[in-house]
Amino acid sequence: GQQLNQSPQSMFIQEGEDVSMNCTSSSIFNTWLWYKQDPGEGPVLLIALYKAGELTSNGRLTAQFGITRKDSFLNISASIPSDVGIYFCAAINQGGKLIFGQGTELSVKP
Amino acid sequence: EAGVTQFPSHSVIEKGQTVTLRCDPISGHDNLYWYRRVMGKEIKFLLHFVKESKQDESGMPNNRFLAERTGGTYSTLKVQPAELEDSGVYFCASSQGRNFYNSPLHFGNGTRLTVT
């Protein structure tokens, strides 16, 4: 079945550092999304991308929809302690179903 | 506006026992979804209700899982009998429409199920 491969699996960074994570697939998608799960809570939508090559920002977060439509990237600039959590990429398949990556667990050291 | 509420937040049961998870969606949201995340893996779709009807249950692992949404309001997910591999976090999500483009999913905080 369709699968999203997300990397890295986990990251341990110092406060103030920039963070990059990505999501790849062998399948083509028309919509990519990025979610964040805070500890003890459910995933919350951060950014949605609808067009190949699109670059969208939400505060210190920037996400890109790869031009091949098979990948997406999320960058966080100048990380702060509240950035801690699990970041999930997701994509909508042709059947309209939302599929998720395995998640990137981010730890930020003050 | 109250968010999606799930109960219990944690459940520890023995193999062979029965557990029922409950989800209260956001009021007025016709679409209700169940997902599961086994530790370290992806969040996997289980099933989708539109009001009280099961629209898609292709993600349900096997017939030990039974989901209901009587009256089209809250939903329950029962696991009977539970097996060790059923452990994970069960998320419920709801949305007003079925189109994720203009009707985003709202997730509950999940129920962490541990089967020992």
CA A14 to chain B, closest CA, distance in angstroms equals 23
The band of B99, judged by pLDDT with boundaries at 50, 70 and 90, is confident
Mean pLDDT of B6-33: 97
3 state DSSP class of A30: coil
The band of B104, judged by pLDDT with boundaries at 50, 70 and 90, is confident
Instruction: Give the mean pLDDT of chain B.
Output: 95
The band of B100, judged by pLDDT with boundaries at 50, 70 and 90, is confident
Q: Is A45 in CB contact (< 8 Å) with chain B? A: yes
Cα–Cα distance for residue pair B113/B71, rounded to 1 Å: 26
* pLDDT higher than 90, residue B72: no
Nearest CA in chain A to B9: A40
Question: Which residue did the predictor score with more confidence, B99 or B68?
Answer: B68
Token duo for residue B16:
């062979």
CA B116 to chain A, closest CA, distance in angstroms equals 21
Nearest CA in chain B to A31: B101
* pLDDT higher than 80, residue A1: no
**What's the N-to-C CA distance of chain A in angstroms?**
40
Interface test with B, best of A54, A98, A104, A105 (most B CBs within 10 A): A98
Tell me: the pLDDT tens digits for A6-47? 999 999 999 999 999 999 999 999 999 999 999 999 999 999
Residues of A in contact with B107 (CB under 8 A): 42-44
Distances in whole angstroms, Cα of residue B21 to Cα of each of A25, A89, B15, B76, B112: 32, 26, 16, 5, 10
What's the confidence (pLDDT) of residue A108? 96
Dihedral sign, CA of A63, A66, A69, A72?
A: negative
Cα–Cα distance for residue pair A34/B2, rounded to 1 Å: 23
Q: Is A30 in CB contact (< 8 Å) with chain B? A: no
Tell me: the pLDDT tens digits for A45-97? 999 999 999 999 999 999 999 999 999 999 999 999 999 999 999 999 888 88
Cα–Cα distance for residue pair A71/A68, rounded to 1 Å: 7
Cα–Cα distance for residue pair B43/B48, rounded to 1 Å: 14
Strand ranges (DSSP E) for A8-60?
A: 10-14, 19-24, 32-37, 43-49, 55-58
